[in-house]
Amino acid sequence: MIMRSGRDVIHCIGDSHANLFSGVPFVQPSWPEPHEDLISLFRTYRLGPVLAYNLSRSGTRTRGREKLFAVLNTIPIGSRVLFCFGEIDCRAHLLKQAEKQNRGTEDVVNECVDRYFSVIKEVSQMGYGVLVWHVPPSTRFIVKGGEYPTYGTCLERNRVVHQFNRRLSELIEENSLKAISIFDRLVDRDGLTKIEYFRDSIHLSQKVMPFVIEEIRHKIGRRELLNLDFIGIGAVRSGTTWLTECLREHPEIYLPSRKEICFFDFEKKRSNYSKGWERYSSFFEKAPKGAVRGEFTTHYMFFPESCGLIKRHFPNVKLIACLRRPEDTVYSFYWWKKANFESGDLAETFEGELEKDDQYIKRGFYYKQLKRFYDVFPREKIKIVLFDDIKERPQEVLKDVYGFLGVGQNFAPSVLTRRVNRAKKVRFKLLADLVNLPMKALRALGLGFLVRELISNPSLSNLYGKVNKKPFDYPSMREETRLRLKRLFRKDVEKLEKLIERDLSSWK
């Protein structure tokens, strides 16, 4: 049997019903005991009689949560994971608990599903492509005791399953995940289970596999799981827009239309990262099969958390960093902000802004930022592009980058010698003030994440740029300021040139 690569496989984790996806007509040993997977699309992990209800807490008798996360530690982040829990809850526990607690069945079911989904969401936010298997219809048999006991009649249990799946679907839809369901194919018009699709009193037979494959193709298609080939990590105002446009034009390369996706900036609540892996994957849905895929976000180099998040999701990705003399970078960044939505918060002069906000100085310490990446990624996976080289020999730079990415090196993009993303200034100060007023109010209310979303929205930025920006050659930096910054950055530059193995004498 030919096994698929890790990113093409769906990892099915659950109770004994996860065994369906192995293609083997019997219940296999529980993980981590050796077992067979005969269907190359799936890899299965049977955790034993684990309840969906108990997955949200540690220390239960079956240790389901501990087993789940132990399994996930063996699966690469970004892989598809199919949750297969809930059948035991619906067959043997939920009706009993509703009766025992004198509560409505739907109330008990919803509590169980909500607890179960909290774990599904937790795993999704870790970066896995989560799918959820709807609980199949319950057995027609009534079994007292034994390995697979039942409670209630088949019809009562199927009503519970229906409620369970309905609540699960609501949560799945709210969180932009996907459910795999063949329930309706396996019950008759009276709501009773069709026994011809079962290989024993409890478990589905391989007769249902065509339904499963059809449903998976319908829900997720044949698109490859997201695996990026390269990520541009910085730095701001250092030729990254020019390079991005040159890469985007190459017929073998795919970049999203949006630069600065800012997914891996940090892991805080309300960050782009917290919005989940499906949202990030959506930026690459239009990538042609076989294309070299990547993105460019210039803040990844600056934010400390970015390196670890990128390594967690894409351990073999190639990285590109464009570097400019640090004093020129921070000066250009100031003027870029002056022309954008943040102009109302800036000091009138660059020198005043340096005193007010230390992030400018911090952005110029490239060694400290890049050292994090060199510590965890192989040197051959990191390409450094100097802004001076882009200005002096753009064709050579581009050929080198194309070679680094493994694409044709002779392609000449239309923007090769064009000046891209040049500095601009505000056309109408009153309009800029009107735009900045709500931005300041949002920050004051602790809603800075909304400001970041607005600033990074390409449609909004383009519209604002057309209406209220014009090309601008900003004044030269004061010589005393330049000398002060060069002295400040000199030691970092000396360490940087050793790290990247480039002569940076002209920067000192």
| CA 266, 271, 275, 281 torsion-angle sign | negative
Mean pLDDT of 342-362: 87
In this predicted structure, which of 147-151, 220-224, 383-387, 436-440 has the lowest mean pLDDT? 220-224
- Give, as one character, the DSSP assignment of residue 183: G
Q: Residue 144 is part of a domain; what is its CATH number?
A: 3.40.50.1110
**Angle at the Cα of 308 from the Cα atoms of 327 and 288, rounded to 5 degrees:** 90
Is the same domain home to 281 and 157?
A: no
Q: Is residue 225 part of a domain?
A: no
| pLDDT higher than 60, residue 309 | yes
Angle value at C-alpha 283, between 337 and 69, nearest 5 degrees: 110
Helix axes 154-174, 105-125, angle to 10 degrees: 40
Q: How many residues does the chain have?
A: 508
The answer, yes or no, to whether residue 162 has pLDDT greater than 80, is yes
> CA-based angle 128:294:288, to the nearest 5?
90
Give the pLDDT confidence score for residue 457 in this predicted structure. Answer: 66
| pLDDT, the chain, mean | 87
Residue 129 in domain: yes
Residue 258 sits at the vertex; the CA angle it makes with 257 and 262, to the nearest 5 degrees, is 150
Q: Any idea which of 39-53, 58-72, 368-382, 456-470 has the lowest mean pLDDT?
A: 456-470
Q: Distance between CA 110 and CA 117 in Å, rounded?
A: 10
Confidence of residue 451 (pLDDT cuts 50, 70, 90): low
Section 458-483 average pLDDT: 75
Cα separation, 110 vs 133, whole angstroms: 17
What confidence tier does 1 reach under pLDDT thresholds 50, 70, 90? very low
Domain that holds residue 279: 230-507
Same domain, 55 and 103: yes
**The domain boundary residue, chosen from 171, 196, 220:** 220
Residue with the bigger pLDDT between 408 and 417: it is 408
Question: Would residue 272 be called left, alpha or beta, if left means φ above 0 and alpha means ψ between -120 and 50 degrees?
Answer: alpha
Mean pLDDT of 251-257: 95
Beta bridge partners of 319: 231, 382
pLDDT for the residue 429: 61
- The average pLDDT across 335-359 equals 83
pLDDT at 224: 43
Q: Please, which pLDDT band fits residue 2 given cuts at 50, 70 and 90? A: very low
The answer, yes or no, to whether residue 359 has pLDDT greater than 50, is: yes
pLDDT confidence tier of residue 6, bands split at 50, 70 and 90: very low
pTM of the model: 0.58
Q: Are residues 379 and 401 in the same domain?
A: yes
Same domain membership, residue 344 and residue 466: yes
- Choose the weakest-confidence range: 190-199, 338-347, 375-384, 388-397: 338-347
Burial call 55-74: b when 16+ CB within 10 Å, e when fewer: bbeeeeebebbebbeebbee
Phi, psi of 424 (to 5 degrees): -135, 165
Mean pLDDT confidence for 130-140: 92
Spatial distance between the Cα atoms of 283 and 445, rounded to a whole number of angstroms: 30
Cα 94–Cα 121–Cα 148 angle in degrees, nearest 5: 30
Per-residue pLDDT, 247: 97
Q: What is the rounded average pLDDT of the residues 20-24? A: 87
DSSP 409: S
Q: Are 291 and 255 in contact (CB under 8 A)?
A: no
Q: Which of 220, 243, 267 is the last residue of a domain?
A: 220
Q: Which of 96-110, 160-174, 343-357, 467-481 has the lowest mean pLDDT?
A: 467-481
Q: Is the pLDDT of residue 7 over 60?
A: no
Number of domains the chain is built from: 2
CB 381 within 8 A of CB 354: no
Mean pLDDT, to the nearest integer, of 443-448?
64
**Could you tell me if 98 and 207 lie in one domain?**
yes
Distance of CA 197 to the CA centre of its chain: 37
Residue 444 has a pLDDT of 67
Evaluate whether residue 300 is within a structural domain. yes
Do both 85 and 138 map to the same domain? yes
Q: Residue 407 domain-assigned?
A: yes
Beta bridge partners of 82: 12, 131
Q: How far is CA 144 from CA 52, 69, 81, 141, 148, in A?
A: 21, 33, 33, 10, 8
